[in-house]
Amino acid sequence: MHAIGIFFLLCFANVHNDIVDFKIDKINRPDRPLPNGKITLKASYAVMFACLFLAVGFGFEFWWLFAGVAILCFVYNRFLKGLPLVGNFTVALLTTTPIAIPILKVGFPQPELLNLMFFAFTLTFAREITKDIEDMEGDRAMGLRTIPVLLGVKFSLILVFLCEIQCLAQLAMFKLPVFFAVLPCLLLSAIFACLNKIRLSQTLIKVTMLVGLIVFYICST
């Protein structure tokens, strides 16, 4: 039930983000359903509220956590998105919510889950900065003050690489099978970033997270 609640919570956050980014996406991603007119704003709002209701409903045992995360998503999309690093940090923190639920149920931190939280946090942070690089044109036009807009692409990529190195170092010390599983993906992501193929780099970070989660699960069973 909690997994279903988390699914709808993520859907709520993504739909609300698309609504807030409507004007930006007309510049950065005009092919997406909302900016190209395939989906109306009215329909998007209806889906957003339905997802929020279902998220809190399915997450009834920890309704306060689901409601709090939903509020944080709203605040992020409306007010924090254009702030340097604050928005990136908020999204990275949000991705650790599904991992926090088992910790809350047991009542004390578990090393395995803490390592997984660190993995999810650092890679999401790296992906968000990479996404900011990809969205620079639209963000600058809308007056958003992201790290790439303020400090440039090179500095932003250094931050991304530092996050990836930190993640790999953590895995090498505490979760060697995951380290070897995700290393090729992160290396390819770094190579594509250096070649200015930012979308491919960002996609590979997502693949890294998926591969890492699968191997984490296999190692824990």
Confidence bin at 54 (pLDDT 50/70/90): confident
Instruction: Decide which of 2 and 95 is more confident.
Output: 95
Sign of the torsion formed by the C-alpha atoms of 151, 153, 155 and 159: positive
pLDDT at residue 220 tops 80:
no
Residue 13 lies in a domain: yes
Is 164 part of a structural domain of the chain? yes
Higher pLDDT, 212 or 25: 212
Q: Are residues 145 and 66 in the same domain?
A: no
At 2 the pLDDT is 61
Of the candidates 65, 61, 81, the one whose C-alpha atom is nearest the C-alpha of residue 16 is 81
Q: What is the mean pLDDT of residues 33-48?
A: 86
Q: Is residue 92 part of a domain?
A: no
Average pLDDT value for residue range 96-114: 73
Half-sphere exposure of 128 (CA within 13 A, CB side): 25
Tokens 């092919």 found at: 31
Over the chain, what is the mean pLDDT? Answer: 85
Contacts of 70 (CB under 8 A, 6+ apart): 9, 12, 13, 52, 55, 56
The answer on 210 and 123 residing in a single domain is yes
pLDDT in tens, 126-139: 998 998 998 888 88
Q: Are residues 76 and 141 in the same domain?
A: no
Identify whether 91 is part of a domain.
no
Q: Are residues 66 and 162 in the same domain?
A: no
The tens digit of pLDDT for each residue in 142-196 reads 787 889 998 999 999 999 999 999 999 999 988 899 999 999 999 999 999 999 9
Q: Give the HSE-up count for residue 157: Cα atoms under 13 Å, Cβ half-sphere.
A: 15
CATH number at 195 reads 1.20.120.1780
Residue 90 forms part of a structural domain: no
- Give the structural domain span for 116: 110-221
C-alpha span between 146 and 88 (Å, rounded): 9
Q: Please, which pLDDT band fits residue 14 given cuts at 50, 70 and 90? A: confident
Look at residue 108 and tell me whether its pLDDT is greater than 80: no
At which of 80, 96, 125 does a domain end?
80
Cα separation, 63 vs 57, whole angstroms: 8
Q: What's the predicted TM-score (pTM) here? A: 0.78
60 and 155 fall within a common domain: no
Q: Centre a 10 Å sphere on the Cβ of residue 161 and count the other Cβ atoms it contains.
A: 16
Per-residue pLDDT band for 3 (boundaries 50, 70, 90) equals: low
Same domain, 75 and 118: no
The predicted pLDDT at position 185 comes to: 94
Residue 105 lies in a domain: no
